[in-house]
């Protein structure tokens, strides 16, 4: 009974905070789709990726849709600049859809309640906050990093537009037989029954088994040196922060290419 109650309340809490899931329709797209892997605070690599996409569209004289697979913050030095960039209209006029990654979701939750996520500060939090001019080492030495002190500093330093952007990020986008998601899906589970935590965090058994659904899943989250092709899935997190390689995958009427 205790386990049943725990599972019930966990599911109820998750349902109350579900992010949007976008379905453009069952028809296969007649336009190219460009998917960008995990950015992780690498603004220069993101700009370069968008330049490559704009150049490809110019050469083909066909306008496409750009889908970013999440994790805009953490690890790299410029989380704040990446969010600034994505909030503004594209300088190239690109149609962009930014999906939510686990690091983006966690950053948003920390902004709501820092005390509920203490481990974040010792993991991705330090570099993320430093991009906003928040020095955790200084706060520790001056204020002991009390939760209320950190919450006030974040409130004063992080623009409301960034918080709204993080809050509004959808978790999936489906176009025809293609599903775009940050981490992946629970194999064999219908899309409408997928838990948000899996969509943001899952690795196994998805990486080895694939979705076990009539879909091609394009995802990030699990870094590899090169683009990873598995059963029913393509992983495009090529560890941009460490490798300097931010992958752009192009899907166009059955053809798959890497820009």
pLDDT, one tens digit per residue, over 137-169 is 777 776 555 556 778 888 899 999 999 999 999
pLDDT at position 71, please? 97
The pLDDT tens digits for 80-115 are 999 999 999 999 999 999 999 999 999 999 998 887
DSSP sequence for 183-234: S---TT--GGG--HHHHHH--TTHHHH---SSSEEEE-SS--SS-EEETTEE
pTM of the model: 0.90
pLDDT at position 145, please? 58
pLDDT at position 5, please? 36
Residues 245 and 259: their CA atoms lie apart, in Å, by 11
pLDDT at position 34, please? 98
CA nearest 205: which of 224, 190, 188, 217? Answer: 188
Residues of the chain with pLDDT under 50: 1-15
């Amino acid at each position: 009974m205790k386990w049943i109650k725990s599972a019930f309340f966990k599911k109820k809490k998750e349902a109350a905070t579900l992010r949007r899931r976008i379905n453009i329709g069952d028809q296969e797209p007649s336009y190219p789709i460009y998917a960008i892997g995990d950015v992780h605070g690498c603004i220069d690599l993101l700009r370069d990726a968008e330049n490559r996409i704009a150049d490809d569209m110019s050469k083909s004289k066909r306008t496409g849709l750009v889908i970013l697979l999440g994790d805009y913050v953490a690890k790299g030095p410029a989380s704040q600049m990446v969010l600034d960039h994505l909030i503004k209209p594209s300088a190239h006029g690109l149609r962009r859809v930014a999906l939510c990654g686990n690091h983006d979701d966690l950053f948003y939750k920390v902004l709501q309640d820092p005390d509920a996520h203490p481990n974040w500060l010792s993991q991705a939090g330090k570099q993320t906050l430093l991009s906003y001019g928040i020095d955790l080492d200084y706060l520790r030495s001056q204020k002991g990093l009390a939760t209320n002190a950190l919450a006030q500093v974040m409130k004063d330093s992080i623009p409301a537009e960034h918080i709204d952007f993080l809050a509004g990020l959808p978790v999936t986008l489906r176009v025809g037989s293609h599903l775009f998601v940050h981490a992946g899906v629970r194999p064999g589970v219908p899309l409408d029954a997928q838990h948000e935590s899996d969509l943001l965090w899952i690795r196994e058994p998805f990486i080895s088994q694939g979705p076990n659904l009539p879909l091609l899943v394009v995802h990030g989250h699990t870094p590899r040196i090169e683009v990873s092709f598995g059963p029913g899935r393509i992983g495009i997190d090529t560890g941009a922060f460490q490798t300097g390689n931010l992958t752009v995958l192009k899907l166009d009427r059955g053809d798959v290419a890497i820009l």
